[in-house]
Amino acid sequence: MSPSILPARLARSAGSITRVQGIEAGHYTDTRRPTGCSVVIARAGAVGGVDVRGAAPGTRETDLLHPTNLVERVHAVMLCGGSAWGLDAASGAVRWLEEQEVGLDVRYARLPLVPAAVLFDLGVGEARIRPDAAAGHAACAAASRAAPAEGNVGAGTGASVGKVFGMEHAMKGGIGTASVTVDGITVGALVACNALGDVLEPETGQLLAGARTADGRQLRDTRRALLCGELPQPVLAGTNTTIGVIATDAQINKAQAHRLAVVSHDGLARAINPVHTMSDGDTLFTLGTGASGRTLGMITLAAMAAQVTAVATVRAVLCARGITTAEGLWLPSACDLDDRTSMVRQAHHERFGNRSP
């Protein structure tokens, strides 16, 4: 990764979701085309929550996470490429966890509970290749307490961003992780960013990746382009999505887990614009392991959750590498446009004058 494009505060170690006590993470990356899956495991179980904001989600077992429903704890969350087909990866995680004797004791067996969400990467390479149960099993087998790889791995392998004006103007997305610790309690995130919109640095507003100009050499700035009258290309519903897991070792209940999932979307809104569109299936899960044996107030936990979600989203694109598929689709990374990022604002003024929304 080119250090000049990576903001100084992100160039330093951003931590990882595996710094949360009781959490493991692993990836499976398919070598046949850009796709894969990523898993976050809580062997001892974790209080779960979820919030779906995008209008075109692909999910599995999200209803059981509702605060009023019976099941209190889950054992893993699977993030997958491959659109709805990719949800099969969760079955592989269930099988692997059963082999490890991890799951809810239902008297006759231990039943692993594995909610899942998918992103659409079928337009990047051969669509008939997608994650399956064997891929989910492999991701679990690769999971550990080590910091997970970022960029073109797991669920982020085929991810792309900035598709409002057509896939030919898009850039490479990926998967990123981050964590923050306050008073001995950690909140971490793992986010696979396949957004329709652009990704920006939350504190400065600097565009990092997204829709490119017609010559492909500069960032277009989707928000400003739309507000200045440029027309988006028709987008197939569900072909974009940012999905992720936010975990904490604080002691929380199910209602609090749900609230942390809700406020974590604030982090997406800081890092992606536009976000939660009719063509995105943005879904965030939360896991509370309680392994620290204590808690913080919800105001602090909420601030931590939104922060790590934003940083992990940014790292998803900054750690990505550009690719060219066999079909000739070029998806450059943020680093590929590094020497031109200083021209983003100038390009905007040349294209739209000094008009500002």
* Distance set, CA 284 to CA 50, 69, 77, 106, 251 (Å): 6, 18, 10, 27, 19
Residue type for 28, please? Y
Q: Is 72 exposed, middle or buried (0-12, 13-18, 19+ CB in 10 A)?
A: middle
Give the span between the Cα atoms of 270 and 205, in whole angstroms: 9
DSSP three-state, residue 345: helix
Res 116: pLDDT: 98
In the Cβ-directed half-sphere of 280, how many Cα atoms lie within 13 Å? 30
pLDDT in the model for residue 13: 64
Question: Which residue, chain included where needed, has tokens 């966890």?
Answer: 97
Q: Is 159 helix (H, G, I), strand (E, B) or coil?
A: coil
Tell me the pairing of strands 283-288 and 241-248. parallel
- List the domain boundaries for the chain: 8-351
Listed residue (315, 268, 317, 30) closest to 170, CA to CA: 317
CA 42, CA 72: separation in Å to the nearest integer? 13
Kindly tell me the sign of the dihedral angle through the C-alpha atoms of 98, 104, 106, 111: negative
Per-residue tens of pLDDT for the chain, all 357 residues: 343 445 544 545 689 999 999 999 999 999 999 999 999 999 999 999 999 998 889 999 999 999 999 999 999 999 999 999 999 999 999 999 999 999 999 999 999 999 999 999 999 989 999 999 999 999 999 999 999 999 999 999 999 999 999 999 999 999 999 999 999 999 999 999 999 999 999 988 999 999 999 888 889 999 999 999 988 887 776 678 999 999 999 999 999 999 999 999 999 999 999 999 888 889 999 999 999 999 999 999 999 999 999 999 999 999 999 999 888 899 999 988 754 443 433 333 343 333 333
pLDDT reported for residue 350? 41
Longest dimension (CA), the chain: 69
* C-alpha span between 176 and 311 (Å, rounded): 8
Identify whether the C-beta of residue 49 lies closer than 8 Å to the C-beta of residue 247: no
Per-residue HEC secondary structure of 282-319 comes to CEEEEEECCCCCCCCCHHHHHHHHHHHHHHHHHHHHHC
Other CB atoms within 10 Å distance of the CB of residue 84: 14
| DSSP for residue 108 | S
Q: How confident is the model at residue 197, as a pLDDT?
A: 95
Q: What is the pLDDT of residue 55?
A: 82
Q: What is the DSSP string of 66-95?
A: STTSS--EEEEEEEESSGGGGGGHHHHHHH
**C-alpha Rg value of the chain to the nearest Å:** 19
The identity of residue 96, as a single letter, is: W
As given in the structure block, the two tokens for residue 349 are: 């003024």
Instruction: Tell me the whole-structure pTM to 2 decimals.
Output: 0.91
Decide if 83 contacts 58 (C-beta within 8 A).
yes
Angle between helices 89-99 and 133-141 (to 10 degrees): 50
Angle between helices 254-271 and 298-318 (to 10 degrees): 40
DSSP of 22-55: T-EEEEEEETTTTEEEEEEEEEEEEEEEEEE-SS
Q: 8-351: which CATH topology? A: L-amino peptidase D-ALA esterase/amidase (3.60.70)
